[in-house]
A and B are shown apart, each in its own frame.
Chain A
Amino acid sequence: MTDVTTNTRTTPRGTKPRRRMSPSNIMLYGTLFVASVYYLLPLYVMIVTSLKGMPEIRLGNVFSPPVEVTFEPWVKAWAEACTGINCDGLSRGFWNSVQILVPSVALSIAIASVNGYALSLWKFKGSEVFFTILIFGAFIPYQVMIYPMVILLREAGEGLSFITGTRIRLMGSVWGLVIVHTIFGMPILTLLFRNYFASVPEELFKAARVDGAGFWGIYFRIMLPMALPIFVVAMILQVTGIWNDFLFGVIFTKPDTYPMTVQLNNIVNSVQGVKEYNVNMAATLLTGLVPLIIYFASGKLFVRGIAAGAVKG
């Protein structure tokens, strides 16, 4: 940015240097500033409310900064907030979400990267057809597929129990949800990896083939190390997506295994008892913290991740 301004000042052929306080500039920054207030306001309100005590909230308004900063709402939200009869706070939801997140992210990325690799370098008859179905499937509302998925998971669980002789439940367990996340995350991730592997120079692939490397050999020794940045993008995409999921969590798990978003909603929107707005906002902020940290830490990669689905290959 500084380049541009210095350029226009030193070279005589450039456009006339703009005055910093010209009316159009004031309009420009003014608009951006007003927009920033709209976007930042809820975050500010969340933080401020979560640091106040209840008496202060009843007296003041949502925007006033805390007079007495207290971290009690945070402690209460984490360890004591109630959902129905359970009063062990959001911590349970947090650990459930972690238990769902880790295998879901690993499995969905492993499968999608192999898909993308096969689709771009090991095309077989019909592979493009499956890919097209996959992409169009991304637009089907989940509500259309969700009930048959419940039946499929229940039946698959029973089938597995029969084969292994032990009682395995997929429906209502973390593993069922992992499978669901893997399936519904597949279109966008496969697209991401396919587009990446399609840009790999073909000579590299052919050279490895001549050297006698097979499907898995090329994947693990050449493609995987090369594709590390795209794996990071996929990870950002999946971690935020799965952490923020509510619909699948509420349908495919039971109250003991509810992810954090579902538990948060149950805590805040519970009808019993006095509403503790400060605890509610602390809980909301806690739930939003994981994706926010990823967002602020990853910077441009996050943008790349979300744009990956938007920009056509």
Chain B
Amino acid sequence: MAVTDGTGTESAKTSARRPNRLFKNLTAKTASIPMIFTALVVFIGCTGWTIYHSFTKSRLLPAPDKWVGLDQYERLWSTRRWLVSIENLAIYGICSLILSLVIGFTLAALLDRKIRGEGIFRTIFLYPFALSFIVTGLVWQWVLNPQFGIQSVVQRWGWESFTFDPLNNADIVIYGILIAGIWQGSGFIMVIMLAGLRGIDEDIWKATRVEGIPTWKTYIVVIIPMMRPVFVTALVLIAAGIIKVYDLVVAQTSGGPGIASEVPAKYVIEKMFQSQNLGQGFAASTMMLVSVLVVLIPWAYLEFGGKRRD
């Protein structure tokens, strides 16, 4: 390590007074061993291990010496199931991003209008976030049940031809999952937005009122641009959640009908732990990492690159 090299000569000169720098703060360093282990071995080591093995011909067991280059990726991108997964993730991702932001902001803005019972409404909008994706998926599976759920209720009201059966229709199944996903997560975005709205100076509102700008226009022209950092944070959080979508699909549809609601995270777990095709699992998980980096790197650059220049 570079540290010991530097201090080696230094401590030789002042050995009587200064102890080796490696042993400075020794208790703090010892106490941080779990953190250092997690950072280096798990986050860097395991990630690197998986990326490396995605270039090998691993099947039942990891095969570090059978290098096959990009073969696994070529196979991955010619697998129909993976392509369906990616398409689903794209639809789910874009819709959930837009809907979460719109619903989250709208609800927060409504709650910020100095209304009665704000606490009650907030509690109602946020409680699904405390529930697991498994519970969320199972409840919505039942609510959307074609025989007893929403569809049958509307039909019994007299609209006989009404059909709303997303979970058994391969074309729209992903929207059925979307309804549940939004239900679970949008309250969280609302909380973040509400915190952002509360941070806006009351004087801004007074100024726009004096100018006679209507409320809705104030939101669009003044408030939303001011809340850019909050929106960016919300965006990153939603995006990080989208890529991890797994349990919701497992509980609500198990990927069905057929493979119509498969998602990448599910593909990875099944290739690794059920169909003993490790190489495919590693390649698919590396692709997941790449998609996270595509979102994360520009954000980190804007966030931290900008600060350094100040």
Contacts and interface: CB of A to CB of B under 8 A. Distances in A.
A15 B214 CA distance: 14
B22 to A, nearest CB: 9
Prevailing SS type, chain A contact patch: helix
B157 to A, nearest CB: 10
A103 interface: no
Interface string A106-131: 00000100110011001011110011
Contacts of B103: 35
A62 B149 contact: yes
Interface stretch (A75-83, A203-211, A283-291): A283-291
A160 B254 CA distance: 38
B183 interface: yes
Contact of A281 (B47, B115, B142, B269): B142
Contacts of B45: 148
B237 A310 contact: yes
B28 A124 contact: yes
B12 interface: no
B134 A183 contact: no
Given A127-B32, A139-B292, A145 B247 contact: no
Query: What interface size band does chain B fall in?
Result: 35 or more
Interface in B128-143: 128-136, 138-143
Most buried by A among B35, B121, B125, B244: B35
Contacts of A152: 41-42, 46
A281 B148 CA distance: 14
Given A42-B183, A146-B272, A295 B35 contact: no
A215 B31 contact: yes
A253 interface: no
Interface string B251-267: 10010000000000100
Contacts of A299: 123
A122 B30 CA distance: 12
B169 interface: no
Contacts of B285: 141, 143-144
B50 interface: yes
A134 B269 contact: no
Interface stretch (A169-177, A226-234, A264-272): A264-272
A94 interface: no
B265 A130 contact: no
B156 A61 contact: yes
Interface residues of A, number: 92
Contacts of B183: 38-39, 42
Interface in A1-54: 1, 4, 15, 28-29, 31-32, 35-36, 38-43, 45-46, 49
B46 A295 contact: no
Contacts of B136: 42
Interface stretch (A65-73, A84-92, A244-252): A244-252
B240 interface: yes
B209 interface: yes
B3 A144 contact: no
A159 to B, nearest CB: 14
A1 B112 CA distance: 11
Contacts of A220: none
Interface in A257-313: 261, 264-265, 268-269, 277, 280-281, 284, 287-288, 291-292, 294-296, 299, 302-303, 306-307, 309-312
Given A62-B148, A247-B246, A140 B47 contact: yes
Contacts, number: 262
Tell me the dominant secondary structure on chain B's binding face: helix
Nearest to B129: A306
Contacts of A284: 135, 138-139
B127 A145 contact: no
B288 A143 contact: yes
Contact of A130 (B36, B110, B143): B36
A101 interface: no
A31 B142 CA distance: 25
Nearest to B243: A141
B296 interface: yes
B132 A148 contact: no
Contacts of A1: 114-116, 118
A277 B143 CA distance: 11
Given A1-B114, A247-B269, A115 B35 contact: yes
B288 A190 contact: no
A15 B209 contact: yes
29 contacts: A1-B114, A36-B121, A38-B183, A39-B128, A46-B142, A127-B32, A130-B36, A130-B40, A134-B35, A139-B296, A140-B292, A141-B244, A141-B288, A141-B289, A143-B265, A144-B288, A145-B43, A145-B46, A147-B62, A186-B34, A265-B251, A269-B254, A277-B145, A287-B132, A288-B135, A296-B127, A306-B188, A306-B191, A311-B192
